[in-house]
Amino acid sequence: MHTATIDDSAHHDEHPYGLMRWVTTTNHKDIGTLYLWFSFVMFLAAGSMAMLIRMELFQPGLQLVQPELFNQLTTMHGLLMIFGAIMPAFVGFANWQVPLMIGAPDMAFPRLNNWSFWLLPVAATLLIASLFVPGGAVAGGWTLYPPLFIQGGIAYDMAILAMHILGLSSIMGAINIITTILNMRAPGMTMMKMPMFVWTWLITAYLLVAVMPVLACAITMLLTDRHFGTHFFDAAGGGDPVLFQHIFWFFGHPEVYIMILPAFGIISTIIPTFSRKPLFGYVSMVIAVASIAVLSFIVWAHHMFSTGMPLGGQLFFMYSTMLIAVPTGVKVFNWLATLWRGSISFETPMLFSLAVVCLFTLGGFSGLVLGLVPVDIQLQDTYYVVAHFHYVLFSGAAMSIMAGVYYWLPKWTGHMYDETVGKWHFWLTTIAFNVTFFPMHFLGLAGMPRRIPDYAMQFEGFNSIASVGAIVLGLSQLLFLYCVVKCIRGGAAAGDRPWDGADSLEWTLSSPPPYHSFAVPPQVR
């Protein structure tokens, strides 16, 4: 395989220019770039929806959006952020970085790679277009629970189709990543010498292949319930609405780790670089990631404690959920030990990574609180849950993505980004994030349900604060856009290895790397 690539490399360098370069590209870097830009556009779209939601919730009473539109906005915000922004961003990283970090010339299946990207805009268009069909977009929450989901109009069928396409894209991407990692590593790179980012993505890809078909089953059953007279989720026909929740969360909980494991990989790359010290506990880190992945299959019903499970079920899922704290703790401790006695400097990627470690730990704590059945019964479906998963998904996943972008941007573009703008972006994002989401813990404890367009008087104070934070948080992301665009268009030359603590294979290539990454496979000691 390697020899074939070497022979062909010269003529593969010829590629169309302009728009056709991007439509027809089979190059892992081009496709990675497409993924990242796509996810950023979705991030802004879904973020704008969140800002509209927060503006409505600035004070009690209905001001800007009526309840129908409000429910559509919360649902679309969730779907677009998860399937449009976070997941594609990590696939973008995988495309750019996996071949570079394992010393491969490209991904294993370049044409499949092209397909798995170009399915995304189709699905996103379907989803966003559903906002404008009669009856409006899906409004039953991103969890799609029936029977509410059975009540909706044509938009619901569009959403099901869109999610099928997104699932197909994810599975194709995952197969590509698994094959690349298992077959195309440079000579000498054994599994236990792979960079941590590659390890986390390998395990994530297996999770994707395992659970995306489960989601496909669940939404197909919804579709046949809606149109073809089946009663999977309809008690009147012998079905059970709660069955859907079991199937959905059997997908949904591993999905959470699909969004956080690659983030762990990015953090585990950046912290050693800026501590100028090898990652502490590499082996235990790999074991921790693998055990988180395995455990993720036996905790799903902790999302359903208030549906009325038998005692034995509640206890089982409580204990298994608490167990997840152990490998997660190991990861945090390992990051700390990596920092300890390092030679630490605070460039933007490092600042983001340190914030991720702190804030993700808070999200882990609130997860532990929610894992205990009695407390969960009190807090399920409140703003406490909203706070919890934003600490995990924004300050865990999204901020890791930002960290990763700043970290590899010099490699990808050949230019250094503007450190001042980057730091402004970091501080504004971190402060505004906490102003937005920390008060939501209090709102949930005080008894404010989630997904309501209007609320009782005693919740006004913290809601106003959260809304102000959300607007600042949203607008700060324009700084990110500015910084990235500025870096692409020019700036100080980055050199091959701008970070003196970095030691994985991508830094042995030029910045930006040649169109075909490793024409000659590097030798790993």
Binding residues among 328-357 for another protein as defined by CB under 8 A: 329-330, 332-334, 336-346, 354, 357
In whole angstroms, how far apart are CA 236 and each of 34, 219, 485?
Answer: 47, 20, 56
Q: Which is nearer to another protein, 26 or 378 (CB)?
A: 378
Q: Verify binding: residue 374, another protein, rule CB under 8 A.
A: yes
Is position 29 annotated as part of the catalytic site? no
Q: Verify binding: residue 380, another protein, rule CB under 8 A.
A: yes
Q: Verify binding: residue 475, another protein, rule CB under 8 A.
A: no
Q: Verify binding: residue 377, another protein, rule CB under 8 A.
A: yes
Is position 169 annotated as part of the catalytic site? yes
265-284 positions binding another protein, by CB under 8 A: 275-284
Q: Verify binding: residue 447, another protein, rule CB under 8 A.
A: yes
Q: Of 504, 501, 492, whose CA–CA distance to 410 is shortest?
A: 492
Q: Give the helix ranges, DSSP H, for 372-418.
A: 373-379, 383-392, 399-413
448-467 positions binding another protein, by CB under 8 A: 449, 451-462, 464-465
For the chain, how many residues are written?
525
Q: Which residues pair with 415 in a beta bridge?
A: 493
403-422 positions binding another protein, by CB under 8 A: none
The catalytic residue among 30, 225, 255, 347 is 255
For 215-276, strand residue ranges (E) read none
Is position 486 annotated as part of the catalytic site? no
Q: Verify binding: residue 486, another protein, rule CB under 8 A.
A: no
Cβ contact 459:446 at 8 Å: yes
At residue 38's C-alpha, the angle toward residues 85 and 272, to 5°, is 65
DSSP state of 83: I
Q: Verify binding: residue 82, another protein, rule CB under 8 A.
A: no
- Residues 6 or more apart whose CB falls under 8 angstroms from that of 515 comprise 12, 13, 15, 27, 29
One character per residue 167-206, x = contact with another protein (rule: CB under 8 A): ----------------------------------------
88-127 positions binding another protein, by CB under 8 A: none
Q: Which is nearer to another protein, 118 or 442 (CB)?
A: 442
Q: Of 170, 38, 185, 160, whose CA–CA distance to 104 is shortest?
A: 185
The catalytic residue among 29, 54, 185, 302 is 302
Q: How far is the CB of 12 from another protein (least distance, A)?
A: 39
Q: How far is the CB of 34 from another protein (least distance, A)?
A: 34
32-71 positions binding another protein, by CB under 8 A: 59-63, 66-68, 71
- Candidates 20-28, 94-102, 119-127, 129-137 — which segment interacts with another protein by CB under 8 A? 129-137
Cα dihedral angle (37, 514, 405, 343), rounded to 10 degrees? 180
Q: What is the distance between the alpha carbons of residues 397 and 74, in angstroms, rounded to a whole number?
A: 19
Q: What is the distance between the alpha carbons of residues 228 and 518, in angstroms, rounded to a whole number?
A: 52
DSSP state of 189: -
Q: Which is nearer to another protein, 4 or 457 (CB)?
A: 457
Q: What is the distance between the alpha carbons of residues 195 and 517, in angstroms, rounded to a whole number?
A: 17
Q: Verify binding: residue 229, another protein, rule CB under 8 A.
A: no
Is position 255 annotated as part of the catalytic site? yes
What are the catalytic residues?
Answer: 77, 106, 142, 169-170, 253, 255, 257, 268, 302-303, 328, 331, 450
